[in-house]
A and B are shown apart, each in its own frame.
Chain A
C-alpha cells in the first residue's frame, strides 16, 4: 500500500518543491511508494470539492503531510491546522517552514508599514487602499514558522533543503521510523578550506570584490572566507546544504554562507556565537553592516525579528 501524502505550500516560493523534483533518478523509484492525495504544485485535488461546491475546506487524511513555507496569513494558518488534524506525521520542509525564512525579514516592520510601501509608495503604482476582500486572506501579526502554529514531527531545514535529506527523511518514515533530524554539525565542519585561525584583523569586509583564490585549484587551497575578512556564517550554521557528499554550496561558488540551514541546534544564539567566532580570528564584529538582518536572514520567525521601537525624537 502506498503511503498517502499531502504536500502543500504556504508562504513559499516553490523552491522546496523544485528540490523534491531535483531528487533526480531516484524520484521514479520513490514515486510508486507515495500517493499524493494533495499536492498543489503537481496534482489537481481541490480544497472545496472538485467542482467547487463545498463550503468548508476539505483536506484528505494522510500518513504524511509535507508543508513548505511559513505562515503569513489567516488562510495559511487555517490550512496548516486542518492539515495537522488529518496527518499522522507532519514534515516542515525548508527554512521558511522551519524558521520563517527570508519572508520573515518583514517582521522587522509593522504590517501596515509594509502595505503602505507596497500599495501607496511605489513609483509605478497608482496609490490605492490596501486590498481587502473575502477572497484574499488577512495577514497574521507576523510571518511565522510552522511550529509556531502546530506541532512539526520532522523538520528538514534549508533554502532549499537538499534532495538527499528529503529522500532520507521520507525513507525513514517509510521504514516505520517516527523521527529524523540532521546531525548537529556546523557548515565549517564540512568545509574544505584552509583555516589558520586568524584573519588580517580589523573590519569585516562587504562583498565589493571577490574572495582571493586560484580558480584552477580546489577549495582545499582557498583560505577561509572569515579569515579573508569576508563575513561567512559557516561557524554558526547547520551543515547539510550540499547533501551527503558535497562541499557547502555557497563556498562552491566562492561566496560566503548566509545561514540558510539555520542554527546548529535548537535554542542556539547564532548572533552571540558568531560574534565570538569573529573575535577569535581577530575581527571586529561591530563592523558588520546591517548586522541584525544579515544574522537573522533565514530565521526571523519565532520572534527573532520584531519591529524596532520608534527612535525617540531628538
Chain B
C-alpha cells in the first residue's frame, strides 16, 4: 500500500471537504476521494415547523446562495398550500434571484477562481488569493468589490436582507415594489449589466486563451447533465421542466413531482454527502473508466441542456461558446466560461424585469390556508438544481422534508474529476503544491 496525500481543507470552496489522493507503490494515483465532512440535518429539524416559515429557515442551508433555497422553498410552499402567486410576485422573485446571482457569479469568478488563472496555478499559496488579485489588478479588484456590493445593496434596500432573506413566502412575496423603488433600481441593474459584459469580454480576451490546454485536459469527464428549461427550451433559473441529458446529448424531461422516478441517491460510507444518480441509466458506479448514472449540474450543465439562452446578449455568447466547444461540452474547466454566460443572462433579465411595468403591481400575495398536502419546488441555484420536497399535516406543519441541493448532484462528478485530475498530474510519486492545487482546481470548477 502506497501513501495518501491529504489536501485539507479544500480551499476557496464553500464548506468542509478534503481530498485524499491514494498513491500505489510506484507513486501513481490508485484512487482519489472527495470527502464531504459535515452534515447539519435540515431534513430532520424542519419537521414540525409551520410550512410558511420554511423559506426563512432553509435559506440558511447556504449563505452564498440563500436566495435559491429561499425561492425553491417558497415554490414548494406554493404547491403545498395549492396557490398561485400573483404575476408581480413571480417577477419580483425572479428579479431578486437574478440580482443575487450576479453578485454570486462575480464573487466566484474573481475571488474564488481567478487567483488560479490570473496569479497562476503554480504560484505560492500566500499570494494565490484575493489579496494577490488586489495587488495584481487593483483597478479591476476595486470594481469587483464595488459591483458585488451594489448587488447586495439593491437586495437589502428593497427586500431587507441580502443574505438569508425573508421576502418570499408561500403565495407570493411580502411587499410590492413602488415606482420610486423601480426607478432607483433600474439604472443600478444597467450598471450590473455593463460590468457583466466587461467581465465576459475580459475573461475571453485575457484569461481563457492562456488556459486552453488545461481546459482540454484537467478534470475532463464524459457524463450526463441536469438543468431547467422553459417552454421554449431556454435556460430558466426560476421555473420550467427538468431536463436530464445523457453524455451523448439525448435527453428526457420531467416535472418537479416526478423527480423520484428519475433521480436516486446513493450513500457511500466515506462521505456525509450523498451521490445522486440517474435512475434509468443502469445503476451507480464511481468508475472513472466507466461511470454509471453520473450526471452534473451547475453552469456547464445548464448551458449544455438548454437549447438557447433566454436573453439576446447571453444567446450571442452561447453561440460563440458552442461554435468553439460543441454541445454537450464536457471539459470541466468550461464551468468558468459557462458561469459568465449565465452572468450576462442574469443581468439582462434583471434589467428586463425592471423595465416591465407590471412589476409594480400592488397584488403580490395570495392568501394561504393550511392543508394536508405534498409539494415539490425547484429552482436552478448557482450550483445546480434545487429540489425541495415538503409534506404537511392538516395544520400546515411540516411532516416530512426531502432536499437535493445544487452541489450534492455534482458529488459523483467532483469525485471523478478530482480522480482524473490527480491521475493526469501526479506520476511516479512526483508532486508539489502547484500540482496539488491543479487537482483542487478540478473541484473548484464546480464551485461547491
For B341-376 the 0/1 string (1 means CB < 8 A from A) is 000000000000000000000101101111000000
A206 interface residue (CB < 8 Å to B): yes
Partner of B60, one of A17, A102, A129, A254: A102
Kindly state whether residue A36 has any CB partner on chain B within 8 Å.
Answer: yes
- Kindly supply a per-residue 1/0 record for chain B positions 263-285, scoring 1 wherever the CB is within 8 Å of any chain A CB and 0 otherwise: 11111111110101000000000
Contacts of B364 in A (CB 8 A): 210
A131 adjacent to B270 (CB under 8 Å): yes
* Interchain nearest-CB distance for B92 vs A (Å): 11
Q: A52-B436, A133-B269, A253-B159 are in contact. Are A106 and B276 (CB under 8 A)?
A: no
Q: Identify which of A109-117, A173-181, A190-198 touches chain B.
A: A109-117
Known: A27-B145, A46-B11. 17 other contacts (CB 8 A): A13-B63, A21-B145, A28-B134, A50-B433, A52-B8, A105-B57, A124-B276, A128-B269, A133-B271, A135-B35, A159-B164, A160-B163, A252-B161, A253-B161, A254-B174, A255-B166, A293-B49
Nearest 4 CB-CB pairings of A with B: A15-B63, A253-B160, A128-B267, A252-B160
Question: Which residue of chain A is the closest to B39 with respect to CB atoms?
Answer: A118
Q: Which residues of B contact A129 (CB under 8 A)?
A: 267, 269
Write out, one digit per residue, whether chain A residues 232-267 have a CB within 8 A of any chain B CB (1) or not (0).
000000000000001001111111001010000000
B12 and A41 form a contact (CB under 8 A): yes
- Distance in angstroms between the alpha carbons of A100 and B367 in the assembled complex: 34
Segment of B122-130, B192-200, B223-231, B295-303 engaged in the interface with chain A: B122-130
Inter-chain contact A113/B269, CB cutoff 8 Å: no
Return B370 CB to nearest CB of chain A, in Å. 8
Give chain A residues whose Cβ lies under 8 Å from the Cβ of B64.
13-15, 18
Chain B residues closer than 8 Å to A53, beta-carbon distance: 5
Q: Convert A64-75 into 0s and 1s, putting 1 for each residue whose CB lies closer than 8 angstroms to a CB of B.
A: 000000001101
* Complex Cα gap A160–B264 (Å): 34
Instruction: Flag whether A207 is at the interface (Cβ < 8 A).
Output: yes
Closest to B20 in A: A135
- A45, B162: Cβ atoms closer than 8 Å: no
Report whether A122 and B265 are in contact in the complex, using a CB–CB cutoff of 8 Å.
yes
CB-contacts of A132-173 with B (<8 A): 132-133, 135-137, 139, 159-160
B33: interface (CB < 8 Å) = yes
Residues 23-41 of chain B, each 1 if its beta carbon lies under 8 Å from chain A, else 0:
0000000000101111111
Known contacts A19-B163, A126-B267; is-contact A11 B38 (Cβ 8 Å): yes
Contact B270 A253, beta carbon cutoff 8 Å? no
User: Which B residues form the contact surface with A (CB < 8 A)?
Assistant: 5-9, 11-12, 14-16, 18, 20-21, 33, 35-41, 43-50, 52-53, 56-57, 60-64, 66, 107, 111-112, 125-126, 128-131, 134, 141-142, 145-146, 148-149, 152-153, 156, 159-167, 169, 171-172, 174-178, 259-260, 263-272, 274, 276, 362, 364-365, 367-370, 389, 395-397, 402, 404, 431-433, 436-437, 440
* Residue in B131, B164, B165, B365 whose beta carbon sits within 8 Å of that of A209 in the complex: B365
Contact A136 B270 (CB under 8 A): yes
Q: How far is the CB of B11 from the nearest CB of chain A, in Å? A: 5
Q: Shortest Cβ distance from A288 into chain B, in angstroms?
A: 10
Asked whether A124 lies within 8 Å of B264 as measured between CB atoms, the reply is yes
Ordered by A's residue number, 27 sampled pairs between the chains whose C-beta atoms are within 8 Å are A15-B62, A18-B107, A19-B163, A21-B148, A28-B141, A41-B12, A42-B111, A44-B125, A44-B440, A45-B125, A51-B436, A106-B41, A109-B45, A114-B41, A126-B265, A129-B267, A135-B18, A136-B37, A207-B169, A209-B368, A216-B178, A249-B160, A252-B156, A252-B159, A252-B160, A254-B175, A258-B166
- For A123, the chain B residues whose CB sits under 8 A away are 260, 389, 402
Q: How far is the CB of B1 from chain A (nearest CB, A)?
A: 15
What residues of chain A lie closer than 8 Å to B404, measured between beta carbons?
A: 124
Residue in A12, A253, A289 with the greatest tally of chain B CB atoms within 10 Å: A253
Q: How many residues of A contact B (CB 8 A)?
A: 86
Pair B149/A22 contact, Cβ less than 8 Å: yes
- What separation, in Å, do the CA atoms of A66 and B327 have in the docked complex? 45
For A137, list chain B residues within 8 Å (CB): 37
Q: How far is the CB of A68 from chain B (nearest CB, A)?
A: 9
Tell me the complex Cα distance, A212–B141, Å: 43
Residue among B111, B128, B268 making CB contact with A131, cutoff 8 Å: B268
How far, in angstroms, from A43 to B50 measured CA to CA in the complex?
40
Would you call B11 and A15 a contact (CB within 8 A)?
no
Beyond A133-B270, A255-B160, whether A102 also contacts B131 by CB under 8 A is: no
